[in-house]
Structure 1
Amino acid sequence: MNDLTERVGLIAGYGVLPLEFVRSAKKEGFTVVSVGLTENSFSLLKNITDNSVFCPIGKPMEIIDYLKTQGVKNIGFAGKVDKKIIFTSINEFDEHARKILKNAGRLNDVSIMNQIIDFIETNGLEVISQLRFLKSIVAQEGSLNQIKIDEEDISEFRNYYQITRKIADLDIGQTVVFKDGAVIAVEGIEGTDATLYRSHELGVEGSVICKVSRPSQDPRYDLPVIGLDTIDVLKKISASALVIQANGTLVTDYDEVMNNSEMAGIKIYGLSENLKK
């Protein structure tokens, strides 16, 4: 029936991506056992997964023990986790979580996630690629909605993409806001939405937002994601376009995202790493 055991685990942050994961896995006939890292994600998942529990991110061994008792061998990650929790709630982290952070050294996303995955797999579970169940919502190349895009637009988008790629390669941020060739804002620890609002506070309208993956992106976690919430923010800041990495960005609620962006006059364009399109 599939290439995994018939039970799959999901460690879920907030947002709609975990719902997409569950729908796809269920469609293939999997039993899905979920761990909600937030009360919100637990609330959303408890009625659509076969078994579910709420467990905060600072208690990794409890998460592993629960999944094992449910007969799970393979797990996936989906959804957002607010990185600020590392600084605001570290007193609530258990000894295992503290050791993970210590071993990470640098508190960037890649270092932390690599240590988390190493901890999980050392304790007998295998972390699968997000694309195993989310391949159907990966953005393709070219114009993704029906708004006309000309060669001048494409040239501008390519330039912005190259700049954003260099910034992401330095592990600074994955999202950059541009206007008329100038960099207006670069994503930091505050996350994408806060970065976009910060750019708008400068009085900038008609901006172009570019979002790419990290260098050597590990498909087991944190692929770039856009969705209806993204479009809502773009409308609020009066953005003109969103440029994303083709074949490496997930689009939740795809049809609604494209319809809503068209109605708002926001261009959405997918660029591949070779920048041919």
Structure 2
Amino acid sequence: MSSPASRPRKLGIAAGGGPLPLAVADAARAAGRDVFIVGVRGAAGPDIARYPHGWVRVGAMGRFLKLFKQAGCEDIVIIGPMNRPRLGDIVPDFRGLLLLPRFIRRLKTGDDALLRGVVEFLEENGLKVVGVETFLPQLLAREGLLTIRAPSASQEKDIDIAIAAARDLGARDAGQGAVARKGEIIALEDVRGTDVMLAELAAARAPGNLERDGVLVKLPKPEQERRVDRPTIGVRTVENAAAAGLAGIAVEADGAIVNDAEDVVRRANELGLFVLGFPHSRTIGPKP
């Protein structure tokens, strides 16, 4: 019989949408960990019922903590997309009411400030927040060219222009992505996310225009709480970039998540886009 000291720490998963919460749960269970999932209503899918689980509404911070504590969780992973809540959508419980002024200040500052507040709240109450890479290290973008197609010399310059713009955007906690084409920034990500930004570019594209140029760059914000939020791309990002007429996507190696990397590379090759992982050192330079 294992002693408490040798028993693997029980993992709690705060689940937003998408497939990653269950992917983390499966990896943790394969590593011998017990798992309990708390799904955020309106974001997490019903498939979390594969594991012991509970549900919480946005703002019910007391129940959020209570569910993890009652389940005996010690480590917490916060994973999966969730729409940025509007103040009118937050329905706090008593604990949430006490914390509401603190979170309203952070909500007005930016997404990363809000997530740091959630991390602080959990760790102040004895839980340890860990990153998704603890269980799924293969999700992190690797350095180098991932696809058959490579960026041209002019597209390499566009990557550097977009890196600088995304770095400036992130310093203001305003977004993680930028698009550059022919030496100019043509789009910046905002709270609506990358998909909306690319959809707007696609809508503005002239009918019949088959030219493919320009690059999407995504990189972490300078002070980003990487344990709970990293820029992410997936197959849909590749397809949306193609629809927007872009030539490729570049992300920071070890800083961004590539969801379903094999499918991302396959789809990018089918559509004739490049996908590149650049080193963190490339993000250091003068602002535009």
Same fold (TM over 0.5): yes
* CA distance in structure 2 between the partners assigned to 1:265 and 1:82 by the alignment: 31
- Counterpart position of 1:110: 112
- Counterpart position of 2:95: 96
* CA distance in structure 1 between the partners assigned to 2:226 and 2:282 by the alignment: 21
Matched residue type, 1:62: R
- Counterpart position of 1:73: 74
Q: Could you tell me how far 1:127 is from its partner in structure 2?
A: 1.2
- Counterpart position of 2:286: none
* CA distance in structure 2 between the partners assigned to 1:150 and 1:225 by the alignment: 24
| Greater alpha carbon shift after TM alignment, 201-210 vs 178-187 | 201-210
Matched residue type, 2:229: D
Alignment of 1:51-200 (within 5 A): 51-83=52-84, 85-90=85-90, 92-104=91-103, 105-107=105-107, 108-200=110-202
1:182/1:150 Cα in 2 relative to 1: closer, same or farther (>3 Å)?
closer
Deviation track 1:6-46 (CA, whole Å, cap 9, x = no partner) reads: 42000010122223312321221211110111356241221
Do the aligned residues in 1 keep the contact of 2:9 with 2:33 (CA within 8 Å)?
yes
- Counterpart position of 1:231: 238
Number of corresponding residues:
272
1:183/1:95 Cα in 2 relative to 1: closer, same or farther (>3 Å)?
farther
Do the aligned residues in 2 keep the contact of 1:224 with 1:248 (CA within 8 Å)?
yes
Matched residue type, 2:57: P
1:262/1:100 Cα in 2 relative to 1: closer, same or farther (>3 Å)?
farther
- Given candidates 244, 250, 259, the residue that maps to 1:252 is 259
Q: Could you tell me how far 1:4 is from its partner in structure 2?
A: 8.0
Q: Could you tell me how far 1:264 is from its partner in structure 2?
A: 0.8
- Given candidates 211, 214, 217, the residue that maps to 2:221 is 214
Q: Could you tell me how far 1:152 is from its partner in structure 2?
A: 4.1
TM-score, length of structure 1 as denominator length: 0.88
The ranges of structure 1 where at least 4 consecutive aligned residues each deviate by more than 3 angstroms after the TM superposition are 1-6, 95-101, 148-153, 204-207
* CA distance in structure 2 between the partners assigned to 1:269 and 1:249 by the alignment: 11
Root-mean-square deviation (CA), in Å? Answer: 2.4
Q: Highest Rg: 1 or 2?
A: 2
Q: Could you tell me how far 1:150 is from its partner in structure 2?
A: 4.3
* CA distance in structure 2 between the partners assigned to 1:116 and 1:23 by the alignment: 24
Do the aligned residues in 2 keep the contact of 1:14 with 1:40 (CA within 8 Å)?
yes
For structure 2, the 5+ residue unaligned runs are: 284-288
- Given candidates 246, 265, 273, the residue that maps to 1:266 is 273
TM-score, length of structure 2 as denominator length: 0.85
- SS of residue matched to 1:185: strand
1:87/1:11 Cα in 2 relative to 1: closer, same or farther (>3 Å)?
same
